[in-house]
Structure 1
Amino acid sequence: MTETPANTALWPAPHASGAVTATVHVPGSKSVTNRALVLAALAAEPGWLRRPLRSRDTLLMASALRTMGVGIEEGVGPDGSGEAWRVIPSGLRGPATVDVGNAGTVMRFLPPVAALADGPIRFDGDPRSYERPLNGVIDALRVLGARIDDTTVGAPGALPLTVHGGGALEGGRVEIDASSSSQFVSALLLSGPRFNQGVEVRHVGGALPSMPHIRMTVDMLRAIGAQVDEPESGGEPNVWRVTPGALLGRDLTVEPDLSNAQPFLAAALVTGGTVTIPDWPTRTTQPGDALRQIFTEMGGSCELTEQGLVFTGSGSIHGIDVDLGEVGELTPGIAAVAALADSPSTLRGVAHLRLHETDRLAALTKEINELGGDVTETADGLHIRPRRLHGGVFHTYDDHRMATAGAIIGLAVKDVQIENVATTAKTLPDFPELWTGMLGN
């Protein structure tokens, strides 16, 4: 197990002296990068992954796949167009030990892959990873024919665990409750083409969060030759079917991480400035694309141009009543902006955030209120009444989106200090440098 070192250093969040005008090149999407790595590792031939994100979560995924026998070569793409990873599939094998850190995609996407390996694969991670639910994946894999030991050390349905790979998995039909994480569905779909019978996943629980991430999984599967039937294209509600078959090696370019563009777009909204994000896709399944509408409703305006997405703040920030069930990862940044608005906000549909890197609803409530805010938790979200905020320490709980939320508040509130801003390296390397560069510091 690798434990993240304690980091209590305080980072003075830069305060904006005026309207921000900047172009910010946001690194690649973590969600796309880690899905692409899994699919390339399961393909029948080598493939290229261009402009991958290099962050803690993606490097953990690459390292995990290497320990299971997959070749991943880092270098420059075949046309010299920048950083690329060449993924060379090979026989998945154990024994091996996978360090998941606190990466939900690693701890959930790889046990189905491990079920296809020859030999045992042990999964372990940071202390917080032991508290994050895995039962949806574990129980489903057992139904599909896998042998998993999850009771030796911790509680059942969680890390640490060992998947005893048998070189293949029968697959077939399975019912799961994925209301705590859409990653349970994506995990089974990603490996489904390699199961003998493919897989049919039926969600039988409450509201399914983060649907854009499932759409992303389906689109990426189809792009490399998989046949997928899903509700969006006229299939049965809450049912996904993947047909068994070979996956093709592809040359994939990773989109910028639109959720990680959030703090920079928020900077334009908070300061009444203009921020341009190059390479914003015209069509995408990333949840971050919803920021165009949400932040416009909160007082900004945006335009997709040849230069990218150009977002401009009006100088006023309005409260919002919004269901974020499909885009829950945007909640911390929206909460930060809402705390600076001219009217109250209600953020709904995000009860599942209590099971993320930290309990994000409790953490946001505590940290904003300790700066003088007025935030209350609801059954499935937050109610935020703007108040005049003051400086203080904004704790991050080893959660990258808490750190960027604190930085947003710091633009408008003097003397905010972010505890452990280094946690942003989970998905957004060099955030402090990007942030100060945006401000011209």
Structure 2
Amino acid sequence: MPTADALAHAHDLADFVAASPSSFHAAAEVARRLTDAGFEPLAEDAAWPAQPGGRYLVVRDGAVIAWVVPADAASATPVRIFGAHSDSPALKLKPKPTTGRLGWLQAGVEIYGGPILASWLDRELRLAGRLVLDDGTAALAATGPLLRLPQLAIHLNRDVNDHLALDKQGQTQPVWGLGAADSADLLGELAASAGIAPDRIRGYDVVTADAARGAVFGKDDVFFASGRLDDLASVHAGTVALAAADPADHIAMLAVFDHEEVGSETRSGAAGPFLADVLERVQLALGADREQQLRALAASWCVSSDVGHSVHPNFPDKHDPVVQPVLGSGPILKINANQRYATDGIGASAWNGWCEAAGVASQEFVSNNAVPCGSTIGPITATRLGIRTVDVGIPILSMHSARELAGVTDLHDLARVAGVFFGGDAR
């Protein structure tokens, strides 16, 4: 049975997800929470203050990096980075998004990432993201429940329970009203939610999100279901841990990237320059030369945190026959022989040590040899920076569904280990 602290963490995660329907909202929510905790926001195009003793954060589009520098930090002080991502599979608005036919208003969308399309059927959806205005500024916008992707009745598709394959163009356009397409404006709905005039919009990055709130349920309240657990569960855990961090011999850093679900190769993705840029500026402010920068990186760590697969009771043949993580038994250490995850023996030892110090049990995850293995920001970060990296996360079911399933205690335990990693406590 979850403790009161674990349940409080899950309910706070529900608040966090509700405030983060897009990557841009997630970055803003991380920044808001950390600013409330005493972090100073920095602009990338401004000079940064001297770093020792500071708590700082910088937002780049849908990504955010925040860090705590101990008062006695020196030019070769190493960094401990907790990495995660802010985006999730979704439907993304196309240009000219107000469409429709046969008396229905519809939204023109394309597929973002690799969602389980069937899971988006018959649920109320929000629109959320960034609107770029005529003066070059950006405004965050998020509607309430607005759209729905309706299933075809079984009477009209007698084979629906045997086979369901949606045409990604013709059968994934949600409805959001009634009438002719030229009589309505979907962008106007978004503009109204942000309190701006529709004619000011010059560009946008807008996705769908499940409108239902995250919920604790099950016998003894062991389950937590929500949209965007991949990877807001990790983003939230890292934010909670960094807000309380008090590092002594290293810089504690949270790095939240966008676009992991589509390959990370953007200016705000893990394959882009964002983390390297921030690290260099932090090290330069500490007076580091190139040799001292490399010494610091050689002594640094990155924990790449993303969700992984719990063993599924209805599909046991999809999992390794021996290594079978399950919800409620602790965070997972992710291992892959072909380096789809960055974990090695040294990383495994370090992770298990942090878990032990936090009083948290850990599980291992490895794929069934016949099932392709996904990847994370871990190998990308290790490759770009040469930092020792270990891949971890929490086990979930329904990964890439519009609504995913986690264990309440695992969510809290991940934050507790992150706290130890950063140099705080395991509250």
Q: Shorter chain as normaliser: what TM range? A: under 0.3
Bigger share in strand: 2
TM-score with structure 1 setting the length: 0.27
Q: Which has the higher contact order (CA 8 A, sep 6+)?
A: 2
